[in-house]
Amino acid sequence: MRNPFIRNRTEEFGLDVWSSYVIPLYFSQLGLNEARKSCVLEGGRGCGKTALLRYLSFQSQFSPDRVEIPPEALCTLGLYLKADTQYFSGFIGNGLNERRWQDIFEHALCLALSEQLVDSILTLNCNSSRLKNYGQIEKLNFTDAVQGFTRTPIPADIEAFDKWIRHQRQELSRWFKNYDFDQPPTLLPLREFLEALIEEVRTKLNYMSNTVFAVYIDEYENLLDYQQKFLNTLIKSGEPPLIFHVAMKPNGMRTRSTIGTESIQETADYRLLNLDDLLQPTFHLFAAELFFFRLIGETEIHESQTPISLEQLRSPQYLSIRASDDLYQQRVLDEIGRILPGLRNREIAQIILKENTPLLRRWQKIIEEGIKFQNSRLTAQDFLDRNYPEASIVCAALLHQRSKTASDILIEFDKLRNNLTSNFTKGEWIHHLLVGTILLIYLPLRQRPCPIYSGFNAFTKLAGTNVRYFLELCHLSIGSILPQNSLQEFSVPIDTQAAAAFRASRKFREEVASCGNQGSRLLALVNLLGKLFRLSQGRYSQSECERTHFSILDEEISTQAREVLREAIKWSVLFETSETKVKANRYESSEYILNPIYAPFFGLSYNKGRKFELQSGEAEAMLTGRVDEFTQLLRQYEKSWSVDIADQMSLGLEM
């Protein structure tokens, strides 16, 4: 029996994802099947780019698992290509100039896509009933179609032509084996060669007479600049029956140039589709649906025991029901909420205030220090009322705020207890401070799972729009305790989920080291920001609570620092948004949010709380500095925020 959530990368499912793909709710907004102009699909890690492209490609659309192929599946035929980065990035130098390498790249791409095109016809005709419906492949004559491009004889029939392409690829490999490049193979022109093949297919196979061939190039960001320019040229000149789409991480297009003098422009030459933005509004429902879909697929649990239908999730025609049927949505969300329950903040406050626990002692310590700070004669007991757990908790922070006195806080607390209007509600003390104060109390107690990170809602907030993060959170929560044939009465304990959130957070934080060629630098950035926000989170007053994002004053940073920021955004270590609440006369600039998946590891909030404004010099040190500059930066804030000694001890984070 497999754990249903262990496979969290599309690559693990192979090219045919027909049976395993859950159609995202934004699918109809893409219009890729109808697209007659190039699209650039941009999205962070784990948002489903690869899965989407594989779903749109012939391997899935013509999957042997698909019983009936509707006519619209033949309107647009997807050819998927994910370039092997280590292979194509080595296409430089070696005594050849860039122009020559561009021709070799074009040739390699041409062979790969020609092979795909041939495979698409063979896959469509993969069994006898399909052959009966479509067939006619004996009519194809590839000698007639493309013999003009090379002196080597090209076979006529499809299977021999398939082999011929494979031989051409082998010849290229053989040529590469020869360091000194004596006799180059004949290099094929991509567009002309593919168009000739398409012409042959459209002429001879009547069921493909109007088919548009859509090429989906995945991981465009990994291509070298001249390779991107070559693809940009294909994007610019794309028109039916051959269109090129690319998918990439944010900031993945390093150049807009083509190999000619022109460059490509959004709208005029391509449509930009931001998958994170499209996924975000419905991620909640999508994640829940995916949860049940995986459970059914890989356990004995029958779909009748779940609120979803496999068929509905696999078929675009049910999208409108999923997107608009409130009853359906409620059923799905209620059921996942039952299986992955969370606690309301009030309930967490109650847990903290239980007698004789380290949490209560921690609360008491903060309260007593606050009373001391206020020179008050009141006692901790005065601020403890288990009937008002939220107010009792936030008192811990309020007592450390200079603008308030202990007696004023107590007066407000008494008003609350007497059902009178008080600042706890009216001034929104609870609203603003509760989450921050809960985190503050849990901060040094890392062996204790913090229930803030439990529950389906918390999981989706931690995951952002990263499906992989969500599945890993489920995997680590449920792991071995999953019942194999019934979901009745099955629910994952709060602490198990919170512990899983911490483990997932630690795992994905460690993974940052392998994010591209600045991985170590990005990990240092995550650690530095995590520690800085943790220092801020550890301030008793919580006057700047739930800090998880920053902006750079004046944004005067070096090109090198900007490059690190770009990489951080590319790898979704940071998310960039336009700055809100710009103070004074500053120009509008950007805000950078630390990916919430790292929140449980550092003990931070997954909400976007108060902003942290960095001086340009500090940002420069953070993005390009050395270890001693990091330490200096942390020390400086530690000092200015005067976090007490006991809390500083918890900042080492050595686990």
Partner 1 sequence: MHKRFNISTSTHDSSEPPSASTKFKWDVAVVAEKSDLDDRSIAARNYATVNSVRTITVKFDLSANETLIDGKVSTFGGLRAQFFRQKCVLIEATTLSVIEILYVVAAAVKENVTQLRLVYVEPLDYRRRIEGRLCEHRDFDLSVNSLYRSIPMFRTDLNETTPGRAVFFLGYEGSRLGQALEQEEILQHWKKHMILGVPAFEPGWEIDSIANNIQYFREQDTVQFAAASSVTGAYSLLCELREQEKESKPILVAPIGTKPHAIGAILFLIEFDAMEQAVLLYDHPYRSQGRTDKIRRWHFYDVADNNTHAS
Binding site for partner 1 (CB under 8 A): 9, 11-12, 14, 82-87, 89-90, 92-95, 108, 112, 169, 173, 176-180, 222, 507, 510-511, 513-521, 523-524, 527-528, 626-627, 630, 652-655
CB 214, CB 77: distance < 8 Å? yes
CB of 92 to partner 1, least distance (A): 6
The tokens describing 507, both together, are 């795992």
- For residues 2 and 346, which CB has a smaller minimum distance to partner 1 in the complex? 2
CB 525, CB 561: distance < 8 Å? no
CB 415, CB 409: distance < 8 Å? no
The single residue listed with the structure tokens 């807009």 is 256
Q: At what angle do helices 98-124 and 158-177 cross, to 10 degrees?
A: 150
Question: What does DSSP assign to residue 257?
Answer: B
CB of 564 to partner 1, least distance (A): 11
Cis amide linkage into residue 241, ω under 30° from 0: yes
- For residues 91 and 413, which CB has a smaller minimum distance to partner 1 in the complex? 91
The tokens describing 585, both together, are 């006369």
CB of 53 to partner 1, least distance (A): 13
CB 576, CB 515: distance < 8 Å? no
- For residues 243 and 523, which CB has a smaller minimum distance to partner 1 in the complex? 523
CB of 650 to partner 1, least distance (A): 14
CB of 225 to partner 1, least distance (A): 13
CB of 414 to partner 1, least distance (A): 47
- For residues 46 and 342, which CB has a smaller minimum distance to partner 1 in the complex? 46
The tokens describing 176, both together, are 């590469």
CB 33, CB 322: distance < 8 Å? no
- For residues 399 and 522, which CB has a smaller minimum distance to partner 1 in the complex? 522
- For residues 178 and 330, which CB has a smaller minimum distance to partner 1 in the complex? 178
- Give the phi and the psi of residue 243 in degrees, each rounded to 5: -125, 145
First-to-last alpha carbon distance for the chain, in angstroms, is: 32
CB of 549 to partner 1, least distance (A): 21
- For residues 302 and 626, which CB has a smaller minimum distance to partner 1 in the complex? 626
Q: What is the 3-state secondary structure (H, E, C) of 17-86?
A: CCCCCCCCCCHHHHCCCCCCCEEEEECCCCCCHHHHHHHHEHHHHCCCCCCCCCHHHHCEEEEEEECCHH
The single residue listed with the structure tokens 């008793």 is 540
Q: Is 528 helix (H, G, I), strand (E, B) or coil?
A: helix
CB atoms inside a 10 Å sphere around CB 420: 11
CB 438, CB 350: distance < 8 Å? no
CB of 412 to partner 1, least distance (A): 42
- For residues 362 and 521, which CB has a smaller minimum distance to partner 1 in the complex? 521
CB of 121 to partner 1, least distance (A): 19
- For residues 93 and 153, which CB has a smaller minimum distance to partner 1 in the complex? 93
- Residue 381 CA to residue 360 CA, distance in Å, equals 12
Q: Tell me, what amino acid is at 318?
A: Y
- For residues 54 and 236, which CB has a smaller minimum distance to partner 1 in the complex? 54
CB of 245 to partner 1, least distance (A): 18
